[in-house]
Amino acid sequence: MSTQRHIAIIGAGIAGLAAALDLNEAGHRVTLYEAAPQAGGLAAGFRAPHWEWSLEKFYHHWFASDKYMLGLIERLGWRDQVLFPRPYTVIYYQGKFYPLDSYVEAFKFTLSKFGPIDLVRFGLTGVYLKLTPRWQPLEQVTADAWMRQWAGDRIYNALWRPLLVGKFGEENLDVVNMAWLWARIHARTTRLGTFVGGFQAFVDKLADLLRSRGVEIRLSTPVTQIRRAEAGQAGRLTVATADDVATYDAVISTSSPALMARLAPDLPESYSASLRGLKSMGAIVLVVTLDRQLTQYYWHSLAKEAGFPYLAMVEHTNFIGPEHYGGDHILYLGDYLQTDHEYFSLSKEELLERFLPSLERFNPAFERSWVRESWLWKTAYAQPVPPVNHSRNIPPIETPLPGLYFASMSQVYPWDRGTNYAVEIGQRAAALVMAEASSNE
Ligand SMILES: Cc1cc2nc3c(=O)[nH]c(=O)nc-3n(C[C@H](O)[C@H](O)[C@H](O)COP(=O)(O)OP(=O)(O)OC[C@H]3O[C@@H](n4cnc5c(N)ncnc54)[C@H](O)[C@@H]3O)c2cc1C
Mutate to test the pocket of ligand 1, among 38, 60, 163 (most ligand atoms within 8 A of CB): 60
**Exposure string over 95-119, b if 16+ CB within 10 A, otherwise e:** eebbbbbeeebbeebbeeebeeebb
Which residue in 409, 412, 405 sits closest to 431, CA to CA?
405
Output the pLDDT for position 166.
87
Neighbouring C-beta atoms of residue 150, cutoff 10 Å:
16
How far, in Å, from the CA of 14 to the mean position of ligand 1? 7
Output the CA–CA distances (angstroms, integers) from residue 36 to 13, 41, 245, 388, in the order listed.
Answer: 10, 8, 19, 34
Longest dimension (CA), the chain: 73
The distance of Cα 184 from the centroid of its chain, to the nearest Å, equals 13
Relative to the CA of 66, which ligand 1 atom is closest?
11
Ligand 1 atom having least distance to the Cα of 39: 49
Cα 400 to ligand 1 centre (Å):
24
Q: Provide the 8-state DSSP code for 403.
A: T
CA distance 110 to 119: 6
Select from 39, 69, 2 the least CA-distant residue to 221.
39
CA of 271 to the centre of ligand 1 (A): 22
Q: Which atom of ligand 1 is nearest to the CA of 382?
A: 53
Find how far residue 113's CA is from the centre of its chain: 32
Query: Separation of 280 CA from ligand 1 center, angstroms?
Result: 13
pLDDT value at position 234? 73
Q: Is the separation of the CB atoms in 21 and 433 below 8 Å?
A: no
Please report which helix (H) or strand (E) contains residue 30, including its range. strand 29-33
Q: Is-contact 100 90, C-beta < 8 A?
A: yes
Cα 140 to Cα 129, 177, 179, 261, 395: the distances in Å are 15, 7, 8, 27, 19
Q: Ligand 1 — pocket residues by CB below 6 A?
A: 10-16, 33-36, 41-43, 58-62, 222-223, 254-255, 259, 263, 283, 285, 334, 379, 382, 408-409, 417-420, 422
10, 84, 254, 314: residue to mutate for ligand 1 pocket, most atoms within 8 A of CB? 254
Q: What is the per-residue pLDDT for 345?
A: 97
How many whole angstroms from 42 Cα to the centroid of ligand 1? 3
Ligand 1 geometric centre to CA of 430 (Å): 18
- Tell me the Cα Rg of the chain: 22
Q: How far is it, in rounded angstroms, from Cα 87 to Cα 265?
A: 47
- Cα dihedral across residues 211, 220, 251, 11: positive or negative: positive
30 by Cβ neighbours in 10 Å (0-12 / 13-18 / 19+) ranks as buried
**How buried is residue 393: exposed, middle or buried, by Cβ count under 10 Å (0-12/13-18/19+)?**
middle
CA 198 to ligand 1 centroid distance, Å: 15
- Return the residue whose CA atom lies nearest to atom 13 of ligand 1: 418
User: Tell me, what's the pLDDT at 2?
Assistant: 63
What pLDDT does residue 303 have? 83
User: Which segments within 192-301 are labelled E, that is strand?
Assistant: 192-195, 216-218, 223-228, 237-241, 245-248, 250-253, 279-290, 299-301
Measured in Å, residue 259 CA sits from the centre of ligand 1 at 14
Residues of the chain scoring pLDDT < 50 = none
